[in-house]
Amino acid sequence: MEKFERLTAVAAPLLHANIDTDIIIPSREMKSGKKTGLAEGLFAGWRYTQIGGREPNPKFVLNKPEYRNVRILLAGENFGCGSSREHAVWALHEYGFRSVIAPSFSPIFYNNCIRNGIVPVRLPEGVVRALAGKVEQAPQDHKLTIDLPAQEVIAHDGERHRFEIDEHHKEMLLSGLDEIDLTLTKKASIDAYLAADRARRPWIYLEP
Partner 1 sequence: MQEARINTHAGAAARTLFDKIWADHVVAELGGGTSLIAIDRVILHERTGAIALRELAQAGRPIADPARAFCTMDHIVETLPGRADATRVPGGEALIKETRERAKAAGIRLFDINAPEQGIVHVISPELGIVLPGVTLVCPDSHTCTQGAFGAFAWGIGTTEAEHALATGTLRVRKPKTMRVTFEGKLGPGVSAKDLSLTLISTYGSAGGNGYVVEFAGSAVSELDVEGRLTLCNMATEFSAVTGLIAPDEKIFDYLKGRRFAPQGELWERALSYWRTLQSDPDAVFDRELTLQRDEFVPMITWGTSPQHAVPVTGRVPSFEESGATREAYERALKYMGIEPGTPMSSLKINGAFIGSCTNSRISDLRRAAAVLRGRRVAPGVRAICVPGSQSVKRQAEAEGLDRIFREAGFEWRESGCSMCFFAGGESFGFQERVVSSTNRNFESRQGPQTRTHIASPETVAASAVAGHIADVRTMLG
- State the residues that interact with partner 1 by CB under 8 A: 16-18, 20, 22-23, 26-28, 30-35, 45, 51, 77-78, 81-86, 89, 104, 106-108, 111-112, 115-116, 166-168, 171, 179-180, 183-184, 186, 189-190, 193-194, 197, 201-208
Give the nearest distance from C-beta 171 to partner 1 in angstroms.
8
Q: Residue 133's closest CA among 146, 124, 145, 142?
A: 142
Catalogue the E-assigned strands of 76-183: 99-102, 119-122, 144-147, 152-154, 160-162
Min separation Cβ 49 and partner 1, Å: 13
The distance of closest approach from Cβ of residue 143 to partner 1 in the complex, given in angstroms and rounded to an integer, is 26
Nearer to partner 1, 106 or 145 (CB): 106
CB of 181 to partner 1, least distance (A): 10
Q: Which CB atom, from 20 or from 66, has the smaller least distance to partner 1?
A: 20
- 3-class secondary structure, 100: strand
Nearer to partner 1, 35 or 142 (CB): 35
For the bound state, the minimum distance from the C-beta of residue 73 to partner 1, rounded and expressed in Å, comes to 17
The sign of the CA dihedral 136, 105, 44, 145 is: positive
> Distance between CA atoms of 36 and 42, rounded to whole angstroms?
12
Q: Cα–Cα distance between 96 and 84 in angstroms, integer? A: 21
User: Considering beta carbons, is residue 141 or 178 the nearer one to partner 1?
Assistant: 178
Nearer to partner 1, 120 or 143 (CB): 120
The backbone region for 43, taken as left when phi is positive above 0, alpha when psi lies in -120 to 50, beta otherwise, is left
Nearer to partner 1, 10 or 92 (CB): 92
Min separation Cβ 27 and partner 1, Å: 4
Sign of the C-alpha dihedral computed for residues 63, 66, 68 and 71 taken in this order: negative
Q: Which residues pair with 207 in a beta bridge?
A: none
